[in-house]
């Protein structure tokens, strides 16, 4: 693993390499991208036109699709970027293509806008706001998005994770009836998500359900909340779509209960970053209210209950490159790979989601180091998974939903290489 990052993307394989390019470079606006937005699953972030860029909306921003799918089955999150060399052409009627300036185009599709997102529940509430979202063929259920770490300060320091922009209690949490310190959500919230999920399961081919939510300062309470959510989901999950509990780390007795009742088939407790010193700095709430060692113990206990390839931990890959941590990208990649080795040896599978720098830190030199780091990590991590005989369980995640992660694409490339060898 001595190759420098600039040439490493060549060794990732064509699908993973294309995905890496698109994740970093994004796609610039075109009329075709605008048309696609009218019938695609909407992006959370609108396209923002740059000064001097032609803006057909006259509003400085435009809706764009959320996910694109290449003809090889790789799903990628769409990032709008005026300076990108990638552009979409075509139309809904003729089909869409994607091309880098001066290179051949390839057919793509966008994740469609499902009918249920335009419907309402029986009490006339928009299904799009009941707490269900889609990442390709994964249904993400989040009916308690507010994170209590945002409300807590210790020695004037906020307990929220430093990278987190989505857990602040807000209008969403009010609408869902979530209250700080209260385990149970209102019955109307459960009824609405159950109706929405029924409609989505009838319309979509969902292959994974992922339960997620903001953290509570009491991990027992958080665990009890997830049991209630999982029971509500089980009542309408007639197709037995595999369910993953994506809570924070939770106590053993809560895991026992989830397991005994067969409510979830996998767990994913996000450590976010490897090494206790970085965890303490980046996830102060997780460290204060649970603790680094207890987090890893909980993951290990999960392996005992559910077995290998059923226990995951998501990592914010690249957060270590923020200047305050004083790590060169090669050191950061090495540290992350040490973590991958340690976790895999315990039967725990880390999943690396690409970190988007915030606060104007996304200048080209920084992004170039981040890309080198990510490419090296992906290559090294594939070797580690292979060494430990670990694969991503397709009930947990697959190429059809891993929109910011590359593990499944790289494993697929390896499978194809073996078949043709």
Smaller CB separation from ligand SF4, 167 or 347? 167
Site residues (CB under 6 A) for ligand SF4, limited to 89-148: 147
Separation CA 281–CA 324 (nearest Å): 10
Site residues (CB under 6 A) for ligand SF4, limited to 145-174: 147, 149, 160-161, 164, 167
Neighbouring CB atoms inside 10 A of 42's CB total 16
Residue 310 engages ligand SF4 in binding (rule: CB under 6 A): no
CB of 355 to ligand SF4, least distance (A): 12
Separation CA 209–CA 397 (nearest Å): 9
- Note the Cα 265 to chain centre separation in Å: 18
CA proximity to 379, closest of 318, 333, 311: 333
Q: DSSP label at 89?
A: E
Dihedral, CA of residue 166, residue 172, residue 176 and residue 178, to nearest 10? 60
Smaller CB separation from ligand SF4, 8 or 250? 250
- Nearest-Å Rg of the Cα atoms of the chain is 21
Separation CA 336–CA 9 (nearest Å): 18
Residue 214 engages ligand SF4 in binding (rule: CB under 6 A): yes
Residue with tokens 């209260």: 182
Strands (E) in 1-112, as ranges, are 47-48, 61-62, 67-70, 75-77, 86-91, 95-100, 106-110
Residue 225 engages ligand SF4 in binding (rule: CB under 6 A): no
Separation CA 109–CA 94 (nearest Å): 11
CB of 93 to ligand SF4, least distance (A): 41
Residues 6+ apart with CB under 8 A from 323: none
Smaller CB separation from ligand SF4, 28 or 135? 135
Smaller CB separation from ligand SF4, 160 or 192? 160
Smaller CB separation from ligand SF4, 65 or 146? 146
CB of 215 to ligand SF4, least distance (A): 4
Candidates 40, 130, 215, 382; binder of ligand SF4 (CB under 6 A) is 215
Smaller CB separation from ligand SF4, 161 or 384? 161
- How many residues sit in the footprint of ligand SF4 (CB under 6 A)? 9
Smaller CB separation from ligand SF4, 29 or 355? 355
CA proximity to 74, closest of 354, 419, 408, 414: 408
Separation CA 243–CA 236 (nearest Å): 12
- The residues with which 211 forms a beta bridge, in sequence order, are 141, 245
Residues 6+ apart with CB under 8 A from 296: 271, 346, 348
CB of 370 to ligand SF4, least distance (A): 19
CB of 354 to ligand SF4, least distance (A): 15
CB of 351 to ligand SF4, least distance (A): 14
Smaller CB separation from ligand SF4, 18 or 161? 161
Site residues (CB under 6 A) for ligand SF4, limited to 261-300: 286
CB of 324 to ligand SF4, least distance (A): 17
Smaller CB separation from ligand SF4, 81 or 147? 147
Residue numbers at the binding site for ligand SF4 (CB under 6 A): 147, 149, 160-161, 164, 167, 214-215, 286
């Amino acid at each position: 693993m001595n190759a420098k990052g600039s040439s490493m993307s060549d060794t990732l394989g064509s699908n993973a390499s294309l995905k890496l390019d698109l994740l970093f470079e994004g796609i610039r606006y075109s009329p075709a991208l605008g048309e696609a937005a009218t019938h695609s699953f909407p992006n959370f972030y609108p396209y923002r036109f740059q000064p001097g860029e032609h803006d057909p909306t006259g509003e400085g921003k435009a809706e764009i699709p959320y996910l694109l799918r290449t003809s090889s089955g790789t799903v990628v999150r769409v990032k709008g970027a005026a300076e990108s060399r990638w552009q979409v052409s075509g139309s809904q009627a003729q089909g869409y293509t994607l091309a880098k300036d001066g290179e051949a185009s390839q057919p793509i599709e966008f994740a469609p806008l499902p009918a249920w997102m335009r419907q309402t529940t029986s009490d006339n509430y928009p299904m799009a706001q009941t707490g269900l979202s889609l990442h390709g063929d994964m249904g993400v259920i989040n009916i308690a998005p507010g994170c209590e770490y945002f409300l807590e300060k210790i020695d004037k320091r906020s307990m929220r994770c430093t990278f987190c922009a989505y857990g602040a209690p807000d209008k969403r949490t009010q609408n869902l009836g979530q209250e700080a310190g209260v385990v149970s959500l209102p019955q109307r919230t459960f009824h609405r998500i159950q109706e929405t999920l029924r409609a989505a399961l009838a319309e979509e081919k969902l292959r994974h359900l992922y339960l997620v939510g903001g953290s509570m300062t009491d991990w027992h309470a958080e665990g009890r909340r997830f049991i209630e959510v999982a029971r509500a989901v089980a009542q309408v999950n007639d197709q037995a779509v595999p369910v993953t509990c994506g809570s924070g780390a939770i106590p053993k007795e809560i895991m026992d209960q989830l397991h005994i009742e067969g409510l979830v088939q996998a767990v994913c407790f996000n450590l976010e970053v490897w090494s206790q010193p970085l965890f303490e700095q980046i996830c102060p709430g997780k460290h204060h209210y649970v603790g680094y060692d207890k987090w890893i113990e909980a993951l290990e206990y999960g392996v005992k209950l559910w077995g290998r390839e059923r226990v995951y931990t998501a990592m914010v890959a690249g957060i270590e490159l923020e200047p305050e941590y004083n790590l060169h990208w090669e050191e950061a990649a090495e540290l992350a790979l040490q973590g991958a080795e340690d976790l895999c040896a315990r039967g725990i599978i880390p999943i690396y989601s690409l970190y988007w720098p915030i606060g104007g830190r996304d200048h080209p030199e920084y992004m170039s180091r981040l890309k080198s780091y990510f490419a090296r990590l992906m290559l090294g991590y594939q070797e580690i998974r292979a060494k430990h005989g670990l694969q991503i369980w397709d009930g947990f995640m697959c190429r059809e939903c891993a929109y910011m992660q590359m593990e499944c694409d790289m494993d697929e490339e390896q499978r194809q290489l073996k078949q043709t060898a």
